[in-house]
Amino acid sequence: MTAGRIQARMDALQQIGRKALIPYIVAGDPTPETTVPAMHALVAGGADILELGMPFSDPFADGPVNQRGAERAIAGGTTLGGVLDAVRAFRADDADTPVVLMGYLNPVMAMGERVFCERAHEAGVDGLLLVDMPPEEDGVLVRRARELEMDLIYLAAPTTTDARMRAIGEATSGYLYYVSLKGVTGSSELNAGDVSRKVDAMRAHVQVPICVGFGIRTAEQAAEISKAADGVIVGSVLVSAAEAHANQPEAVPEALRQVLAPMREAMDDVQAGLKS
């Protein structure tokens, strides 16, 4: 498999000694028109890779903040086709920043797994993360995505056993998404020490970069987690910012940038401190 945009970006970051900052927003939240400007604003705020949520009506692995984001997007008329259109429009002005689509299987099945993979690839999507599709349930989608050289990003959790970690380490490409705590997205009990120990232990089974998400809300937490992890994934705090501006969608991109920029700065300060 040739190196995709995700691996190229991760390699480049490693060379300059920078950790990946990966923001997550829900496509179409609060309106379909917000998505593309929001993606560019996140890049301006220091994003290295973008995770774009495909809204689903019943997101049982997400917390209330992300669920409300999905509800706003669906109410605003965002469809899976609309999500792919947003990626294509983003790609017209940004050929480099990797985009990962994150979501649940049912909307993908409704479009058709094969068709979805082909349309996503054509739109410029680099990776897929299906929350409710563990490696055991692979099928048409996994085969077609691999043929098209899109990365399949899998989750690992504090409860994941060593045996499963090996299987997940083999299945995942691009990066591994480590769910930092037992809970849903946006939970609040993050223990940086536990995360750091777990990330170190996982490296025995995982060859790709390990990025950590769930429960990271502040620049300080992002900086702390970035010491051990290869990347930091930030979601609910951004979706909260979108929610706060749901009535002035044009203000959302700048609001997102303002949340992300201090995280970028704090993470880079940590790396600069380690080097000096």
Active site residues: 51, 62
Does 152 bind another protein (CB under 8 A)? Our answer is no
C-alpha distances out from residue 6 to 48, 76, 113, 152, Å: 9, 30, 22, 11
Question: Which segments of 1-98 are extended strands (E)?
Answer: 20-26, 50-53
* Pairwise CA distance, residues 267 & 212, whole Å: 13
Tell me how far, at minimum, the Cβ of 74 lies from another protein, in Å.
6
C-alpha distances out from residue 198 to 66, 137, 160, 274, Å: 26, 25, 10, 21
Sheet holding 155-156, edge to edge: 151-152, 127-130, 99-103, 50-53, 20-26, 231-234, 210-213, 176-179, 155-156
Does 240 bind another protein (CB under 8 A)? Our answer is no
Tell me how far, at minimum, the Cβ of 109 lies from another protein, in Å.
5
Does 211 bind another protein (CB under 8 A)? Our answer is no
Dihedral class, residue 214 (left if φ above 0, else alpha if ψ from -120 to 50, else beta): left
Does 117 bind another protein (CB under 8 A)? Our answer is no
Q: Give the range of 19-27, 63-71, 219-227, 254-262 binding another protein by CB under 8 A.
A: 63-71
Is the Cβ of residue 62 or residue 224 nearer to another protein in the bound state?
Answer: 62
Identify the residue among 11, 14, 170, 182 touching another protein (CB under 8 A). Answer: 182
Is the Cβ of residue 89 or residue 111 nearer to another protein in the bound state?
Answer: 111
Does 154 bind another protein (CB under 8 A)? Our answer is yes
Does 71 bind another protein (CB under 8 A)? Our answer is yes
Closest of 60, 85, 83, 64 to residue 73, by C-alpha:
83
Does 65 bind another protein (CB under 8 A)? Our answer is no
Residue 40: count of CB within 10 angstroms of its CB? 17
Backbone angles phi, psi at 182, to 5 degrees: -80, 105
Beta bridge partners of 130: 103
Identify the residue among 47, 155, 206, 222 touching another protein (CB under 8 A). Answer: 155
Does 160 bind another protein (CB under 8 A)? Our answer is yes
Q: How many chain residues interact with another protein (CB under 8 A)? A: 44
Does 143 bind another protein (CB under 8 A)? Our answer is no
Question: Which residue ranges make up the site for another protein (CB under 8 A)?
Answer: 56-61, 63-64, 67-68, 71, 74, 79-81, 104-111, 131-134, 136-137, 154-161, 164, 168, 179, 182-184, 187
